[in-house]
Chains A and B, each alone.
Chain A
Amino acid sequence: MTEPIVKFQDVHKSFGDTQVLKGINLDINSAEKVAVIGPSGSGKTTIIRMLMTLEEPTSGDIIVGGTNLWKMEKKGQMVRANEKHLREIRGDIGMVFQHFNLFPHMTILENCMTAPIHVKKEAKEEVRDRSIQMLDRVGLGDKLNNYPSQLSGGQKQRVAMARALVMRPKIMLFDEVTSALDPELVGEVLEVIRDIAKNDDMAMVLVTHEMDFALDIADKVLFLDEGVIAEQGTASQVIEHSTNERLQEFLHRFRK
């Protein structure tokens, strides 16, 4: 078996005096789909934000593609990573946010094109074709020149996915991407993620409360509770056959 694309090694995170993560150990293989479940406030978002370099771990190591994300070598010593080091690794990671975070002053096509052109310095024509293709794939090929404010929440979230995908990340992070949506719009967004999960070979980490969805697409499910991974295994092991009491209690609230 090949090296995992992401490794968390005893990762801790505190905000001030509050210990949020108390020793996370985790391997994610390339192309693996990992669902993260757990009660609100258990640190799910914090885990993927550290991987996206939006939050720095208090201690421990996060290894991405064999390279330490938050530390770098300088004169034979491991020191805090600088922005240049972070940028190099960040290029392999993409993220979709709970509140979409589309650029409101750009059309949806421009939202997709801006990073490949300015960050990856790719040719405009090629990026345009790819962006249109990607927007087609998420079902928004007819809205290219609309602004985000003219779209529904579900449509915005699908644009956000297209925007992340045109960067061709090796790892995609999804933070409760349907929880800000009206219930009738959740389906269309999950459908797009399902399509990506089944057809693309990047690793995916999804924080989600949609248990049936996790059962369907996840290779691995983590149950996060009080700052530790309290349970992990295949989706069926964790969601259907676990005997962990806290997990049972948690699941009970989400499955009717």
Chain B
Amino acid sequence: MNSTYWSWDTFLDALPFVLQGLGYTVGLTIASYLFALLFGFVWTFLRRLPNKVFHFVVTWIMEFIRSTPPLVQLFFIYYAWPMIPGIGVTLSPFTSAVIGLGIHFSTYIGEIYRSGIESVDKGQWEASRALNFTTIDKWKKVILPQALPPTIPMLGNYFIIMFKEVPLASIIGVAGIMLMANSYGAQNWAYLEPLTIVGIIFLLLSYPSAVLIRKLEIKMNTRFDKNATIKGN
């Protein structure tokens, strides 16, 4: 089966093979996305602490993580990290990828949270204080319920963006659809069909998600028209 042109036989043969990787691809997307959602909160929280030096250091670390390619970060976590004496730990490819992609994208997601929090009118903080809320209740009852809903569409977009970055993890050995397609290609000297399959799977999963997110965005916007005040209202 040494065809260098398109063959439906190869296509049908490669399909189940590539699909074996779907669980890892989707699993890694979800796991690293959840990690990024959680870790985004950590950044946002750290940056709100009053100490100026600390604020500067955290902002700089975030900037550093964002300006370094995720690929380099994956390599670092998987290959270089275990070699650091004392704190080095050997992690599985999957765990490395969850942490690597999760931390990388958490810096963007932290930015989204921040913009959401900053969009809450100053008067809301003052009213919470005048009503004597504790800090925790202020966040729980007043600030977050207003700060988070408008960020949902942007957060959704990052889910798709991260989904599309997940094939990177094939390079440290996460057996997702990308790695499966690649190894099918190497074994059978047929790359066209398996890689086409990968493209189709991404299209089939990304496109409906994008549509869903657009719907959500419209819903969030109209929700804001109906129930919420615009600034200074």
> A-side interface residues toward B, CB under 8 Å?
52-54, 83, 87, 90-91, 93-95, 97, 99-105, 114-115, 118-119, 147-149, 163-164, 167
Contacts and interface: CB of A to CB of B under 8 A. Distances in A.
Interface in B97-147: 121, 123-124, 126-127, 129-135, 137, 141-142, 145-146
Secondary structure of the B contact surface, majority rule: helix
Contacts of A54: 126, 129-130
Interface centre among A54, A94, A149 (most CB of B within 10 A): A149
A91 B131 CA distance: 8
Contacts of A91: 132
A9 to B, nearest CB: 23
A107 to B, nearest CB: 9
A105 to B, nearest CB: 5
* For the complex of A and B, 9 pairs with smallest distance between CB atoms: A101-B123, A101-B127, A115-B131, A104-B228, A104-B229, A95-B130, A147-B227, A90-B132, A119-B132
Interface centre among B135, B226, B233 (most CB of A within 10 A): B233
Contacts of A149: 225-229, 233
A105 B130 contact: no
B131 A163 contact: yes
A134 B33 CA distance: 46
A100 B131 CA distance: 13
B232 interface: yes
B130 A104 contact: no
A103 B124 contact: yes
Contacts of A148: 229, 233
B198 to A, nearest CB: 43
A80 to B, nearest CB: 14
A119 B136 CA distance: 11
Interface centre among A94, A102, A103, A164 (most CB of B within 10 A): A103
Interface string B168-209: 000000000000000000000000000000000000000000
Given A100-B123, A104-B229, A104-B233, 10 more contacts: A52-B129, A53-B129, A83-B135, A94-B130, A99-B233, A101-B123, A101-B126, A104-B228, A115-B132, A118-B137
A103 B145 CA distance: 10
Given A148-B229, A149-B227, A149-B228, A101 B134 contact: no
Contacts of B228: 104-105, 147, 149
Given A163-B131, A164-B130, A99 B227 contact: no
A119 B137 contact: yes
B137 A104 contact: no
A18 B134 CA distance: 32
